[in-house]
Chain A
Amino acid sequence: MHRRDFLKFTGLASGTLVLGGAAAAGYMSGADKTGNTGWGRAPYAKDQFFNRKPFFVTTPTYEKVGTPQRIQYLDNLFRRNGELGMHIRSLGEGGLESVKGEGISSLPQELKAYYTEHPSAFEEFFLTRESAKQQRERWPEHRNQYLLAEAWSKAHASPLKGREAYPPQPQGPPEEWDFEGVNPDPLKLKSPQHGSELIKKITHTFGATLVGVTAIKEEWVYQGILRGVGKTNFAKPAHWKNAIVFAIPHEWESFYANPTYGTSYEAYTMLRFIAGKLETFIREIGFSSRSHVPPNSYDLIIPPLAIDAGLGEQGRHGVVITPELGANTRLAAVSTDMPLEPDKPVDLGIMKFCNKCKICAEECPSGAISFDDKPTKVVRGYRRWCTDQDKCFKAWNQVATSSARGCRVCLAVCPYSRKNNWIHTFARELDPRDPTGFTASTMLAMQKQFFDYPGGSQYLPPPDGNNKTYGKAPDWLRTEEWFDF
């Protein structure tokens, strides 16, 4: 062979090897577990974080259109259903049928007022109860297939049980409880900046992926019930000055296999441990503190606080979307009187993307997510997309799980919920810097054309659907990989 031919064919072989190398490197990058942000080899290293500085704004991207109002506790689905459930139980046997038959007018005053304003929520309550009954009856058919998923979820839920749940629920008014065990001889903090920096570092060491700080606005405080006190109308306590808001993702592989393989409890319990430790830490250095943790131990509404703290923006599905974790962002907070420098909110174009996207609305098994082109509903003084909580909860009671433990399909299908590897990092860096919106439109077109989505009802069990999950369940949650049945 001539030298010239040798070089020509060596070149050809080298070009092929370069492309093969690109394929191999790409595949390894995609499969690499360190792309699972928040769980990787460097839990709070610099390369984990999106640089928010170029996107700081003075006011958050949610739109204020009136006088803000505090959220009444009955606006919270779980509290509302809890109240109605208690009322039904208080009536004894036949209570459910009696309340259903007599209607809203038979309810105690507060519930009557709420359901008169939201009659569809009253109807959904009974439909959900029926769905829950069917879910329980159907569970034996699915138990073997989802044995590991159920066991995994129950394992994560186990620290939430009963009075021993951590952190302990407040006992007594905030002016007492939040100060219990506070160091009586605190040192002088050098500055609020020092305070914020320290608290963020500490919260990361407790396991938080993202941490932000914001002042607590009055309108983000629940009204009508106060943990440790009970039902009461109260003013925001003076010492609830700042909130430390933090986020972690769900375990990514189970998260993509929602609704049946994932669980909310896994992130919830981790958040509770972080919050409880942070609560103790803050008291030890001389300041009051109070945890606000999932599933329902809140006196503050956390998502708007997270937006104020610059963690992300509100998504169409009502969940905060962050650049690092997308909608795989689970939140908790600790309120404190510690002097802290607040973070700035950000505008990353997420809400604008949500205007066009609608994938979560298309995929929602219960049709609970708004298809409006822009946020249209005014809720307590803010214009926003509104997710129908009652419809959403009904789907929890329909999917093939043993009980209502969430759905999370909207979070899994969100185009922002992508791992921390080069291709998604490139997209999340490019999109917010493109003022034309071309990048967003192109990515959305690719998302819709290239990716497979089962479609709303397919996530439900037969006959309505086929128990589909968004992604394939990991082997460690697939019973058939480990057991004969």
Chain B
Amino acid sequence: MSMGVLIALFFTGLRYWLADASITMNWWKWLILSAWFLFLAITVAAAFTLMGEGEWTAGKRFLLFFGIVLLLAGSGIWKLLKKV
């Protein structure tokens, strides 16, 4: 439940950050942004699951690889949100 509250607070705050950046949001933009955040959370969880198993190197490499992928995707999404 606390995770649900945190997610709700995150999206509430995000709404103001986006508005201050002069980005107008619609349903598909929210969908893309939510999906990106979901993948980020899953990547973090997966990497730390591997670390919890004792596979520290695999966890770190996983986080690094998908972290970079998500960073690049995030920057693309940010440009898209601003442009459209």
| A residues with CB within 8 A of B | 4, 7-12, 14-15, 17-19, 21-32, 35, 256, 419, 421-423, 446, 449-452, 471-472
User: How far, in angstroms, from A9 to B61 measured CA to CA in the complex?
Assistant: 31
- Cross-chain contact A32 with B52 (CB below 8 angstroms): yes
The residues of A that contact B41 with a CB separation of less than 8 Å are: 18-19, 22
Q: How far is the CA of A316 from the CA of B50 in the complex (A)?
A: 25
A451, B57: Cβ atoms closer than 8 Å: yes
Among the listed B40, B49, B58, which residue makes an inter-chain contact with A451, where contact means beta carbons less than 8 Å apart?
A: B58
Is there contact, CB below 8 Å, between A256 and B54? yes
Q: A22–B10 Cα gap in the complex (Å)?
A: 14
A11: which of B16, B53, B58, B61 is its contact (CB, 8 Å)? Answer: B16
B51 near A446 with CB under 8 A, answer no
B76 on the A face (CB < 8 A) = no
Taking A11-B13, A18-B7, A450-B65 as given, write out 12 further A-B residue pairs in contact, using a Cβ cutoff of 8 Å, ordered by the A residue number. A11-B10, A11-B15, A12-B17, A14-B10, A25-B45, A26-B47, A27-B48, A27-B49, A27-B51, A421-B53, A451-B58, A452-B58
Residue in B6, B9, B49, B52 whose beta carbon sits within 8 Å of that of A21 in the complex: B6
B50-78 interface mask toward A, CB cutoff 8 Å, 1 = contact, 0 = none?
11111101100110010000000000000
Q: Establish whether residues B45 and A22, one from each chain, have CB atoms under 8 Å apart when the complex forms.
A: yes
Cβ contact within 8 Å between A18 and B6: yes
Q: Please measure, in the bound complex, the distance between the C-alpha atom of A376 and the C-alpha atom of B40, giving whole angstroms.
A: 44
Q: Which residues of B contact A22 (CB under 8 A)?
A: 41-42, 44-45, 48
Tell me, in angstroms, the Cα distance from A21 to B3 when the chains sit together: 8
Question: Quick check: A449 and B49 within 8 Å, CB to CB?
Answer: no
Tell me which residues across on chain B come within 8 A of A8, comparing CB atoms: 13, 16-17, 20
On whether the beta carbons of A26 and B48 are closer than 8 Å, the reply is yes
B-side interface mostly = helix
Chain B residue at smallest Cβ distance from A253: B54
Residue of A15, A19, A26 with most partner-chain B CB within 10 A: A26
Q: Are B17 and A26 in contact (CB under 8 A)?
A: no
- Does B14 have its Cβ within 8 Å of any Cβ on chain A? yes
Which listed residue (A15, A30, A451) contacts B51, Cβ 8 A?
A30
* B11 within 8 Å of A (CB atoms): yes
Does chain A have a CB within 8 A of B12?
yes
CA gap between A22 and B63 in the complex, in Å: 13
Docked CA distance A23–B42 (Å): 9
- Residue from the set A14, A25, A28, A451 with the largest chain B CB neighbour count within 10 Å: A14
With a 10 A CB-CB cut-off, give which of A25, A28, A472 has the most chain B CB atoms: A25
Known contacts A423-B50, A451-B55, A10 near B13 by CB under 8 Å: yes
Q: How large is the interface on B (under 10, 10 to 19, 20 to 34, 35 or more residues)?
A: 35 or more
Q: Chain A residues near B32 (CB, 8 Å)? A: none
Bound CA span A105–B14, Å: 84
Interchain nearest-CB distance for A447 vs B (Å): 9
B46 within 8 A of A: yes
Interface centre among B9, B17, B62 (most CB of A within 10 A): B9
Check A23–B45 contact: CB distance below 8 A.
yes
**A-B residue pairs, 9 tightest by C-beta:** A11-B13, A30-B52, A26-B48, A26-B45, A31-B52, A14-B9, A30-B49, A27-B52, A26-B49
B53 nearest in chain A by CB position: A30
Residue numbers in A under 8 Å from B14 (CB-CB)? 11, 15
- Give 8 CB contacts A-B under 8 Å: A11-B13, A22-B45, A23-B47, A30-B49, A30-B52, A256-B54, A419-B53, A450-B50
Contact across chains for A31 and B53 when beta carbons are under 8 A apart: yes
- CB pair B16–A4 under 8 Å, yes or no, is yes
Query: A449 to chain B: which residues have CB within 8 Å?
Result: 61, 65
Contacting residues, chain B, for A446 (C-beta < 8 A) = 62
Given the complex, which residues of B lie within 8 Å of A31, measured CB to CB? Answer: 52-53
CB atoms of B49 and A423 under 8 A apart: yes
Q: With contacts A26-B44, A450-B57 known, is A17 near B52, CB below 8 A? A: no
Given known pairs A7-B12, A7-B13, A451-B58, the reply for A19 and B44 (CB within 8 Å) is yes
The residues of B that contact A21 with a CB separation of less than 8 Å are 3, 6
B62 adjacent to A422 (CB under 8 Å): no
Cβ of B47: which chain A residues have Cβ within 8 Å of it? 23, 26
A12 engages B13 (CB within 8 Å): yes
Closest chain-A Cβ to B73's Cβ sits at a distance in Å of 16
Contact across chains for B54 and A472 when beta carbons are under 8 A apart: yes
Q: Mark B8-41, 1 if CB is under 8 A from A, else 0.
A: 0111111111001000000000000000010011
- By beta carbon, the residue of chain B nearest A252 is B53
Within the assembled complex, what's the spacing in Å between the Cα atoms of A297 and B4?
56
User: Which residue on B lies nearest to A4, using beta carbons?
Assistant: B16
Closest B residue to A29 by CB, please name it.
Answer: B49
- How long is the Cα–Cα vector from A30 to B17 in the complex, in angstroms? 35
Output the residue of B5, B20, B37, B54 with the most chain A CB within 10 A: B54
Interface centre among B13, B57, B65 (most CB of A within 10 A): B13
User: Nearest A residue to B4 by beta-carbon distance?
Assistant: A18
B38 to chain A, nearest CB (A): 10
Q: Which residues of A contact B7 (CB under 8 A)?
A: 14, 18
CB distance from B33 to the nearest CB of A (A): 11
Report chain A residues within 8 Å CB of B3: 18, 21
User: Nearest Cβ distance between residue A23 and chain B, in whole angstroms?
Assistant: 4
